[in-house]
């Protein structure tokens, strides 16, 4: 059987400022999925990177009185430091200013569009939003301003190269409606289909500019065969997903192996570029489309969009510094829906941390290891057949069906793991995390049902079966946590000390817990 491949990308982050919690969520969501697919044996390639060209970069660099390259180098270094702090396991970090690794692919894609007859020269006259790095129409404005950046666009008239986007609207619509080109959630499909259809049932798409005059923005990739024009930032940036795989170079092996992408993760603010421009470019170049775009929402703070003027801006660094990166990864995995807007405050984070990590998982690990050490010197022997059923399940037939009255190993094998893998393989990482904490709840209930700290006084053999069941359960919790909280998963594996990876019969040689997994914050 051929090895299954999995290619996942984040959008490349614009190198004009430090990454915030919205970018952090994109990275963590992508990393959890990449780690999960590696854990089930898929040949995985995980890409992230930086978008370094365009008008905003030039203007920001000028404000700091440095060159564009020095400016992006400084910000990319900060990006890569955050990626390291978050424990992101990307296989490659692509930079659009890299003339060796990125430019050949971008230029090859341009040539492919040209050969298809889809590029022509024309004059653009209209509005341009610096924040979006995008041309914008009057009907998109709200009170005369860009709705995303709350700024008035500039009026521009210049000669550019145009791409025949209008030509590909009907085909993109067809692929979206029949599911060949998947966007999650479905509401985003409806949004794009509506945009393509237009107000009167006819295509609402016009052709788009894909270059800017070099004299206007002297920072970017020269348009092939015309150095007076630079490739417009979106034509340049979107090609990173294939240039990173060697497209356009002498070695396209990774491109042949991993493309098309299995999942491309992005925020809803850049959906149109990825759901219209990107597939149109690929169709023109006769390159397969990505299998799925997963579109997540925005992060708010205290119910309001983060703003320096409101004083509600939260940085990922402060949560990592105070709580550790696994705590932040936990929150972003379980407390956030992958497809909806979400809200975060320092108070909410602390509440969740104390309830589910310090008092929940951390406390369960601590008292289980303490009993294993105190009653059995850290060496606990048993097997799945000796573990008693959870008493509370005996009367829950209508809720738990045929697993009523079954023990921890049975519940894990027949209920917990199937649901965990179902959700994780569907990119529903928050629901996958819920299943892990459901198991943690079962283990807590197991302790409540049998009170091994009392049982040990009358029946040490039965107590050992109880503690073995708890260690077995924690071993599985650790395994399922590998994609979500890799540091914590490794600690649990070491502390539990399983002697056998899969066998029902095992000896757990536990280690003493020298400090809490998660120290409570009061």
pLDDT tens column, 468-499: 999 999 999 999 999 999 999 999 999 999 76
**What pLDDT is attached to residue 186?**
95
DSSP state of 69: H
Question: Is a pLDDT exceeding 90 seen at residue 372?
Answer: yes
Same domain, 176 and 284: yes
Residues near 459 by beta carbon (within 8 Å), at least 6 away in sequence:
none
Same domain, 262 and 146: yes
The answer to whether position 306 is within a domain reads no
Sheet holding 134-136, edge to edge: 134-136, 119-129, 154-163, 208-209
Among 297, 332, 348, give the residue marking a domain's end: 297
Q: Calculate mean pLDDT across residues 338-364.
A: 95
The answer to whether position 448 is within a domain reads yes
Same domain, 284 and 362: no
Strand pairing partners for 389?
A: 407
Question: Is a pLDDT exceeding 90 seen at residue 96?
Answer: yes
**What pLDDT is attached to residue 505?**
66
pLDDT per position as a tens digit, 320-330? 999 999 999 99
Q: Calculate mean pLDDT across residues 132-158.
A: 74
139 is catalytic: no
Q: How confident is the model at residue 404 (pLDDT cuts 50, 70, 90)?
A: very low
Same domain, 375 and 257: no
Q: Calculate mean pLDDT across residues 233-247.
A: 95
**What pLDDT is attached to residue 130?**
66
What stretches of 66-179 adopt beta strand conformation (E)? 92-95, 119-129, 134-136, 154-163
**What pLDDT is attached to residue 399?**
40
**What pLDDT is attached to residue 403?**
47
* Rg of the Cα atoms in the chain: 27
CB 408 within 8 A of CB 355: no
Question: Is residue 268 classed as helix, strand or coil in its secondary structure?
Answer: helix
Question: Is a pLDDT exceeding 80 seen at residue 137?
Answer: no
Question: Is a pLDDT exceeding 90 seen at residue 150?
Answer: no
Both tokens of 205, joined, read 């798409």
**What pLDDT is attached to residue 3?**
79
Question: Is a pLDDT exceeding 70 seen at residue 310?
Answer: no
**What pLDDT is attached to residue 401?**
43
Among 297, 320, 342, give the residue marking a domain's end: 297
Same domain, 71 and 214: yes
Burial of 168 (0-12, 13-18, 19+ CB in 10 A): buried
pLDDT per position as a tens digit, 15-67? 998 898 989 999 999 999 999 999 999 999 999 999 999 888 998 999 999 99
Same domain, 375 and 276: no
Catalytic residue among 146, 393, 442, 491: 146
Question: Is residue 471 classed as helix, strand or coil in its secondary structure?
Answer: helix
Sign of CA dihedral 374, 375, 379, 381: negative
**What pLDDT is attached to residue 1?**
55
Q: Calculate mean pLDDT across residues 442-446.
A: 95
Catalytic residue among 63, 125, 308, 454: 308
Catalytic residue among 23, 53, 296, 350: 23
Q: What is the CATH number of the domain that holds 417?
A: 1.10.730.10
Same domain, 232 and 376: no
Catalytic residue among 5, 20, 43, 370: 20
The answer to whether position 351 is within a domain reads no
Catalytic residue among 101, 102, 132, 442: 132
- Measure the CA–CA gap between 90 and 48, rounded to whole angstroms: 7
Strand pairing partners for 508?
A: 380, 498
Q: Calculate mean pLDDT across residues 97-102.
A: 97
- Bridge-based pairing of strands 5-9 and 263-267 is parallel
Q: What is the CATH number of the domain that holds 186?
A: 3.40.50.620
305 is catalytic: yes
Has this prediction a pTM greater than 0.85? yes
Angle of helix 486-496 relative to helix 363-376, nearest 10 degrees?
A: 10
Both tokens of 394, joined, read 């005996």
Number of domains in the chain: 2
Phi/psi of residue 238, nearest 5 degrees: -60, -30
Domain span at residue 69? 5-297
CB 144 within 8 A of CB 122: no
Tell me the percentage of the chain whose pLDDT exceeds 90. 76
Q: Calculate mean pLDDT across residues 346-351.
A: 95
Residue 240: how many other CB atoms lie within 10 Å = 26
461 is catalytic: no
Q: Calculate mean pLDDT across residues 407-411.
A: 92
The answer to whether position 364 is within a domain reads yes
Report how far apart, in Å, the C-alpha atoms of 179 and of each of 14, 278, 428, 440 are: 30, 17, 19, 37
**Residue predicted with more confidence, 393 or 140:** 140
235 is catalytic: no
**What pLDDT is attached to residue 398?**
39
Q: How confident is the model at residue 402 (pLDDT cuts 50, 70, 90)?
A: very low
Q: How confident is the model at residue 158 (pLDDT cuts 50, 70, 90)?
A: confident
Tell me the percentage of the chain whose pLDDT exceeds 70. 92
Both tokens of 413, joined, read 């094998």
The answer to whether position 80 is within a domain reads yes
Question: Is a pLDDT exceeding 80 seen at residue 151?
Answer: no
Q: Calculate mean pLDDT across residues 204-223.
A: 89
Question: Is a pLDDT exceeding 60 seen at residue 201?
Answer: no
Q: How confident is the model at residue 304 (pLDDT cuts 50, 70, 90)?
A: confident
**What pLDDT is attached to residue 437?**
98
The answer to whether position 154 is within a domain reads yes
Catalytic residue among 84, 149, 304, 460: 149
Q: How confident is the model at residue 132 (pLDDT cuts 50, 70, 90)?
A: low
Same domain, 90 and 214: yes
The answer to whether position 367 is within a domain reads yes
pLDDT per position as a tens digit, 373-394? 999 999 999 998 889 988 876 5
Q: How confident is the model at residue 141 (pLDDT cuts 50, 70, 90)?
A: confident
Q: Using H for helix, E for strand and C for coil, what is the string for 363-374? A: HHHHHHHHHHHH
**CA contacts within 13 A on the Cβ side of 326:** 20
Same domain, 269 and 389: no
Catalytic residue among 74, 305, 391, 460: 305
Question: Is a pLDDT exceeding 60 seen at residue 514?
Answer: yes
Q: Calculate mean pLDDT across residues 508-514.
A: 93
Question: Is a pLDDT exceeding 80 seen at residue 269?
Answer: yes
23 is catalytic: yes
Q: How confident is the model at residue 2 (pLDDT cuts 50, 70, 90)?
A: low
Both tokens of 53, joined, read 């060209």
Same domain, 495 and 401: yes
129 is catalytic: yes
Question: Is a pLDDT exceeding 60 seen at residue 397?
Answer: no
- Measure the CA–CA gap between 115 and 102, rounded to whole angstroms: 20
Q: How confident is the model at residue 124 (pLDDT cuts 50, 70, 90)?
A: confident
The answer to whether position 259 is within a domain reads yes
**What pLDDT is attached to residue 283?**
98
Among 281, 297, 313, give the residue marking a domain's end: 297
- Measure the CA–CA gap between 159 and 314, rounded to whole angstroms: 42
Nearest of 21, 43, 53, 22 to residue 91 by alpha carbon: 43
Residue 302: how many other CB atoms lie within 10 Å = 14
Same domain, 206 and 286: yes
Same domain, 251 and 396: no
């Amino acid at each position: 059987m051929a090895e299954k491949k999995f290619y996942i990308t984040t959008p490349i982050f614009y190198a004009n400022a430090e990454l915030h919690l919205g970018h952090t969520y994109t990275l963590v969501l992508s990393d959890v999925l990449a780690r999960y697919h590696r854990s089930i044996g898929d040949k995985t390639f995980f890409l992230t990177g930086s978008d370094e060209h365009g008008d905003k970069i030039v203007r920001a660099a000028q404000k700091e009185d440095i060159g564009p390259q020095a400016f992006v180098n400084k910000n990319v270094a900060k990006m890569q430091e955050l990626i390291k702090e978050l424990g992101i396991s990307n296989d490659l970090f692509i930079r659009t200013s890299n003339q060796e690794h990125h430019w050949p692919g971008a230029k090859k894609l341009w040539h492919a569009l040209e050969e298809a007859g889809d590029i022509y020269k024309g004059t653009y006259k209209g509005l341009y939003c610096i924040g979006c790095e995008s041309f914008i129409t009057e009907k998109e404005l709200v009170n005369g301003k860009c709705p995303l950046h709350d700024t008035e666009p500039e009026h521009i008239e210049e000669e550019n190269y145009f791409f025949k986007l209008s030509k590909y609207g009907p085909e993109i619509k067809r692929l979206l409606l029949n599911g060949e080109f998947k966007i999650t959630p479905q509401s985003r499909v409806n949004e794009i289909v509506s945009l393509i259809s237009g107000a009167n049932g006819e295509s609402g798409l016009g052709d788009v500019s894909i270059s800017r005059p070099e004299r206007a923005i002297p920072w970017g990739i020269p348009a092939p065969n015309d150095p007076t024009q630079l490739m417009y930032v979106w034509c340049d940036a979107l090609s990173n997903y294939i240039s990173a795989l060697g497209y356009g170079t002498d070695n396209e092996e990774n491109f042949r192996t991993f493309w098309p992408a299995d999942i491309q993760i992005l925020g809803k603010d850049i959906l149109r570029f990825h759901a219209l421009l990107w597939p149109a470019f690929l169709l023109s170049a006769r390159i397969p489309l990505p299998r799925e775009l997963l579109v997540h929402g925005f992060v708010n703070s205290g119910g309001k969009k983060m703003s320096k003027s409101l004083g509600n801006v939260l940085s990922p660094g402060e949560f990592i510094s105070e709580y550790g990166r696994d705590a932040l990864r936990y929150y972003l995995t379980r407390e956030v829906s992958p497809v909806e807007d979400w809200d975060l405050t320092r108070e909410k984070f602390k509440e969740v941390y104390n309830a589910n990590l310090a008092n929940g998982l951390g406390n369960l690990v601590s008292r289980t290891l303490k009993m294993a050490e105190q009653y059995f010197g850290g060496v606990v022997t048993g097997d799945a057949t000796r573990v008693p059923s959870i008493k509370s399940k005996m009367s829950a037939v209508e809720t738990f069906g045929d697993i009523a009255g079954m023990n921890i190993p049975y519940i894990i094998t027949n209920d917990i793991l199937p649901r965990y893998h179902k959700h994780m393989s569907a990119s529903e990482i928050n629901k996958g995390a819920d299943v892990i904490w459901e198991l943690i709840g079962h283990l807590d209930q197991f302790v409540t049902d049998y009170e091994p700290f009392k049982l040990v006084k009358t029946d040490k053999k039965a107590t050992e079966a109880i503690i073995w069941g708890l260690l077995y359960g924690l071993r599985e919790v650790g395994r399922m946590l590998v994609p979500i909280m890799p540091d914590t998963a490794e600690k649990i594996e070491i502390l539990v000390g399983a002697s056998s990876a899969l066998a029902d019969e095992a000896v757990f040689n536990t280690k003493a817990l020298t400090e809490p997994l998660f120290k409570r914050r009061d």
